[in-house]
Amino acid sequence: MSKERKMNTELRRTMRKIFRNPSAVLGFALLIFFVIVAIFAPLIAEPINPMMLDDNGNPMKLDDPYVMPIITWSSTPVPPSADHPFGMIQGRDIFYGVVWGTRTAFFIGLTVTIISTLFGILIGSISGYYGGWIDEVLMRITDVFMSIPFLLAAMVLTTILGNGIDKVMIAMTVFGWMGAARLIRANILQVKEEQYILASKALGVKDYFIIMRHVLPNTIFPVLIQASMRMGSLVITAAGLSFLGLGAPLGYADWGSMLNFTRNWILGASGSTFSYWYAVFYPGMAMVLFVLAWNLVGDALRDVFDPRLK
């Protein structure tokens, strides 16, 4: 049997294992749904401002589709109707925000996860492979970064850098690489003593080549699983920052900042507050389902690749 065909059967067996698990199927289905919403956002919620007309009398196109247009001047929440299926809050259409917020969530989550994981892999590989004083110094630095609560650190750095989702992403990356670094270091320490690594060393293969070709492929899976499980919590943290009024600017299509709008309506007046349920429910549900999708996928991957934890 050729090497390629063997890989294929292996892959197929893994896939079958994943899709036998109903919660994994649900996770992937949800994820695909969100990907479709993100890709077709311009078709699902057209980026136009009905309040402003161009020369031909058609509604004007938005310069920046991520800034939700103000479509009514009443700031009180307006319940769902046929035109605005999720209702309106602060003059903005909730449906529009939920749809375009999907893109924001993917953008923030993927960027931060990828960059911080790569940085963690870099630090962890150097630390684990070389050991000695390099390891000692890098690991103590990691300890220091780990002893600052993530949310607080992200809050401080975002405030210092100023508002904007790019600032949130920088802040979360600066304080988000330590998990991956520790994990990859621990795995490398284990793999380092294996015969095939010692053999390549004896043959005089360069360090860089050994790490890239032999060590990383054998240690990368746990890191990828951890990364997919972190996607959810990163999106929660980013939304939490927006909710606190840091991060995404006012009116940005972001689930967290839409919930920030609802804060005053819920804490302010009592009694009739429950009639604003849709303002919390739709953006909140979008967030819960998004995070749930990533958690289910991460769980499924872990079940397959790390049979120790059931």
Partner 1 sequence: MTTFIIRRLLLLPLIVLGVSLIIFSLFQILGPDKLLAAYVNPNVFDKLSSEELEVLKEKYGLTKPFAERYGIWLWNALKGDLGWSQVGKDAVLKSILSRFPYTLELALYALIPVVGVGIWLGVAAAVHRDKFLDQFIRIFAIVGWSFPDFVFGLLILMVFYSVLGWFPPGTLSQWAEEIVKSESFHKITHLVSIDALLNGRLDVFWDALRHIIGPVITLSFLWWAYLLRITRSSMLEVLSKEYVRTARAKGVSEHDVIHKHAQRNAMIPVVTVAGNMVIGLLSGTVIIEVIFNRTGIGRLAADAAVQLDYATVLGTTLFYSIVLVLGNLIIDILYAVFDPRVRLG
- Asked if 266 is part of the footprint of partner 1 (rule: CB under 8 A), the reply reads yes
Q: Which is nearer to partner 1, 100 or 243 (CB)?
A: 243
Q: Which is nearer to partner 1, 5 or 310 (CB)?
A: 310
SS (H, E, C) the chain: CCHHHHHHHHHHHHHHHHHCCHHHHHHHHHHHHHHHHHHCHHHHCCCEEEEEECCCCCEEECCCCCECCECCCCCCCECCCCCCCCCEECCEEHHHHHHHHHHHHHHHHHHHHHHHHHHHHHHHHHHHHHCHHHHHHHHHHHHHHHCCCHHHHHHHHHHHHCCCHHHHHHHHHHCCCHHHHHHHHHHHHHHHCCHHHHHHHHCCCCHHHHHHHHHHHHHHHHHHHHHHHHHHHHHHHHHHHHHCCCCCCCCECCHHHHHHHHHHHHHCCCCHHHHHHHHHHHHHHHHHHHHHHHHHHHHHHHHHHCCCCC
Out of 239, 253, 258, 297, name the contact with partner 1 by CB under 8 A. Answer: 239
Decide: is 292 part of the binding site for partner 1 (CB under 8 A). yes
Q: Does 221 bind partner 1 (CB under 8 A)?
A: no
Nearer to partner 1, 48 or 292 (CB): 292
Residues contacting partner 1: total by CB under 8 A: 49
Distance between CA 37 and CA 55 in Å, rounded? Answer: 31
The yes or no reply on residue 156 touching partner 1 (CB under 8 A) is yes
Fill in the per-residue mask, 90 to 119: x = in contact with partner 1 (CB under 8 A), - = not in contact.
------------------------------
Nearer to partner 1, 191 or 291 (CB): 291
Q: Is 270 in the site for partner 1 (CB under 8 A)?
A: yes
Residue 244 binds to partner 1 (criterion: CB under 8 A): yes
277 makes contact with partner 1 (CB under 8 A): yes
Q: Is 152 in the site for partner 1 (CB under 8 A)?
A: yes
Confirm or reject binding of residue 79 to partner 1 (CB under 8 A).
Answer: no
Q: Is residue 170 a contact residue for partner 1 (CB under 8 A)?
A: no
- Residue ranges binding partner 1 (CB under 8 A): 23, 140-141, 143-149, 151-153, 155-157, 159-161, 232, 236, 239-240, 243-246, 259, 262-263, 266-267, 270-271, 273-274, 277, 280, 284, 287-289, 291-292, 295-296, 299, 309-310
